[in-house]
Amino acid sequence: MSKREQDDAIADVERAMVAIRRRQTRRSLARLTPPGGGGPIDPTLFNVLDVIDDHDKPCSVRDVATALSVDQPRASRLVLRTVEEGWLDRRTDPSDARRTLLALTGSGREQLDRAHRFRQEIFARVMADWSDVDRSEFARLITAFVTSFAQVVPDAE
């Protein structure tokens, strides 16, 4: 592959990633209704739940802020909204009473699972006419891309 072809391929990836981000917006997803009624979960709240679910240890508002690349007041407002929805519990950190830890409630777990199923159903529809080989290869390549991206652009801690 020539340098020009490599550059074109990288530009194609960048354009595709921007297009994906735009189509993952609240407005775009709101046009689609998940099975079982109700509207899709607000993506900003989904992201909070997802951060807490992915965290391998007790999670604080600061952890949410870092993972979402937002300031702590913004993360606090998002966490408050998820608590008000009944999707998160706040608990006092047993090792530091000044610190609050966040945990998914049963309802929060249901919302997160519902949102994952909804997105997976969309992805399945998008790839419905792809061969099994193409779906598997895409899954392998996008997973490798995300892994490499995380190594080059790590989360700020």
Tens-place pLDDT, residues 19-29? 887 777 655 65
Kindly indicate the confidence band of residue 42, based on its pLDDT and cuts at 50, 70 and 90. Answer: confident
Residue count (the chain): 157
For 34, the enclosing helix (H) or strand (E) is none
Kindly indicate the confidence band of residue 133, based on its pLDDT and cuts at 50, 70 and 90. Answer: very high
Selected residue with higher pLDDT from 57 and 63: 63
Tens-place pLDDT, residues 77-124? 999 999 999 999 999 888 888 888 999 999 999 888 888 888 888 889
77 C-beta neighbours (distance < 10 Å), count: 12
Kindly indicate the confidence band of residue 156, based on its pLDDT and cuts at 50, 70 and 90. Answer: very low
| Predicted confidence (pLDDT) at residue 44 exceeds the cutoff of 90 | no
Helix ranges (DSSP H) in the chain: 3-23, 26-30, 43-54, 61-68, 72-85, 106-126, 132-152
DSSP per-residue letters across 48-76: HHHHHHH-SS-B-HHHHHHHHT--HHHHH
Kindly indicate the confidence band of residue 157, based on its pLDDT and cuts at 50, 70 and 90. Answer: very low
